[in-house]
Structure 1
Amino acid sequence: MKVMLVNGSPHKSGSTNRALEEVARTLEAEGIEAEIFWIGRKPVGGCVACEACSRLGRCAFDDVVNEFRPLAAEADGFVFGAPVHYAHAAASLLGFMDRLFYANGRAGTEDVLAYKPAAAVASARRAGTTSAFDDINKFFTIKEMPVVSSRYWNNVHGNVAEETEQDAEGLWTMRQLGRNMAWLLKCIEAGRAAGIAAPAREAGQATSFIR
Structure 2
Amino acid sequence: MKVLGITGSPREKSNTEYFVRIALGELEAQGITTELISLREKKIQACRGCYGCIEAKTCTLEKDDFDEVFDKMLEADGLIIGAPVYNSSTPAGVKALLDRAGFLSRWIRNEMKDNKESYNWKGTAFSGKVAAPITVARRAGQNFAFAELLLWLTVNDFIVAGSHYWNVGVAGKGGAVDAENDSEGIGIMKHMATNMAHIIKQLKK
Aligned length: 190
Q: Provide the residue aligned with 1:121 in structure 2.
A: 134
Q: Deviations over 1:9-46 (max 9, x none)?
A: 11131000000000000000000011111112667443
Q: Deviations over 1:130-158 (max 9, x none)?
A: 21100001111112111110111101111
Q: Which amino acid aligns with 1:87?
A: S
Q: Provide the residue aligned with 2:31 in structure 1.
A: 31
Q: Which amino acid aligns with 1:85?
A: Y
Q: Deviations over 1:40-74 (max 9, x none)?
A: 26674432210111233222232222111221222
TM-score (norm 1): 0.83
Q: Deviations over 1:104-140 (max 9, x none)?
A: 2535699541110111000111111121100001111
**Aligned runs of 1:67-106 on 2, under 5 Å?**
67-104=68-105, 106=107
Bigger shift: 154-163 or 1-10? 154-163
Q: Which amino acid aligns with 1:169?
A: E
Q: Deviations over 1:177-200 (max 9, x none)?
A: 11010011011112xxxxxxxxxx
- Identity value in percent: 30
- Distance in 1 (alpha carbons) for counterparts of 2:53 and 2:176: 37
Q: Provide the residue aligned with 2:22 in structure 1.
A: 22
Q: Provide the residue aligned with 2:193 in structure 1.
A: 178
The answer to whether the Cα contact below 8 Å between 1:89 and 1:132 also exists between their aligned partners in 2 is yes
Match of 1:134 among 147, 153, 156: 147
Distance change in 2, residues 1:163/1:170 (3 Å): same
Let me know the Cα RMSD of the aligned residues: 2.0
SS of 2:21 mapped into structure 1: helix
List alignment gaps of at least 5 residues for structure 1.
Answer: 191-211
Q: Which amino acid aligns with 1:36?
A: L
Bigger shift: 132-141 or 106-115? 106-115
